[in-house]
């Protein structure tokens, strides 16, 4: 009887170990997990049905039109291709990108990088974009890629891809 109890306990322990390893979410089930995979560009371009474009940049961002938020918990994905700028959100339920904003690079009049220097914390970078219709968009840049992004947008908006 004691042997049967030990066998049952061992069997339960093995089953629990097997199922606990399966509990981790894969990159398709997390909001930003896909961004760090080799499949991102292909899945993104298929989602927007523009396979002729090439992804030049992807990163987390917060978009704001007027004043920057003091604290932003909801972040989206900023994707820049050779033709457009996209603000996108990965839908973990339907496994597709939902586009919140699409700007043709040809519709961008000016791009500016604003850097707020701080003494205690890392500097903040904001990409300020003005369209030909004078609509302003600001994007928080969480990496040190601000100058690179400005150069991409400026060069491709003038149809001169010299980066």
Q: Report yes or no: 118 and 96 within 8 Å, Cβ to Cβ.
A: no
Q: In the prediction, which pLDDT does 20 show?
A: 61
Set out the domains of the chain in order of their start, with CATH numbers. Answer: 27-157 (2.30.29.30)
| 3-state SS class at 84 | strand
* 74/141 Cα distance (integer angstroms): 14
Sign of the dihedral defined by the CA atoms of residues 120, 151, 43, 102, in that order: positive
DSSP secondary structure code for residue 48 in this structure: T
**What are the CA-CA distances from residue 140 to residues 13, 32, 82, 123, 137 (Å)?**
47, 16, 21, 11, 10
* 151/157 Cα distance (integer angstroms): 10
Provide the residue count of the chain: 163
Q: In the prediction, which pLDDT does 32 show?
A: 66
pLDDT tens for the chain, 163 residues long, are 567 777 777 777 777 666 665 556 666 666 666 777 888 889 889 888 888 889 998 888 888 777 665 555 568 899 999 999 999 998 888 888 899 999 999 999 988 888 877 777 766 788 889 999 999 998 888 878 888 888 888 888 876 555 5
Q: In the prediction, which pLDDT does 1 show?
A: 57
pTM, two decimals, is 0.74
Q: What DSSP string runs through 129-153?
A: EEETT--EEEEEE-SS-HHHHHHHH
Longest CA pairwise span in the chain (Å) = 82
């Amino acid at each position: 009887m004691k042997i049967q109890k030990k066998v049952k306990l061992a069997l339960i322990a093995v089953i629990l170990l097997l199922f606990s390893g399966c509990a981790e979410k894969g990159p398709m089930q997390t909001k930003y997990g896909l961004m760090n995979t080799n499949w991102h560009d292909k899945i993104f371009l298929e989602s927007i049905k523009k396979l002729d474009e090439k992804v030049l940049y992807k990163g987390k961002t917060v978009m704001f039109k007027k004043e920057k938020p003091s604290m932003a918990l909801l972040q989206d994905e900023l994707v820049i291709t050779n033709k457009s700028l996209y603000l996108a959100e990965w839908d973990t339920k339907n496994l597709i990108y939902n586009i919140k904003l699409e700007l043709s690079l040809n519709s961008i009049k000016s791009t500016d990088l604003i850097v707020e220097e701080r003494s205690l914390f890392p500097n903040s970078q904001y990409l300020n974009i003005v369209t030909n219709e004078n609509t302003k968009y600001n994007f928080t840049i969480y990496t040190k890629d601000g100058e690179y992004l400005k150069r991409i947008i400026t060069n491709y908006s003038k149809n001169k891809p010299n980066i």
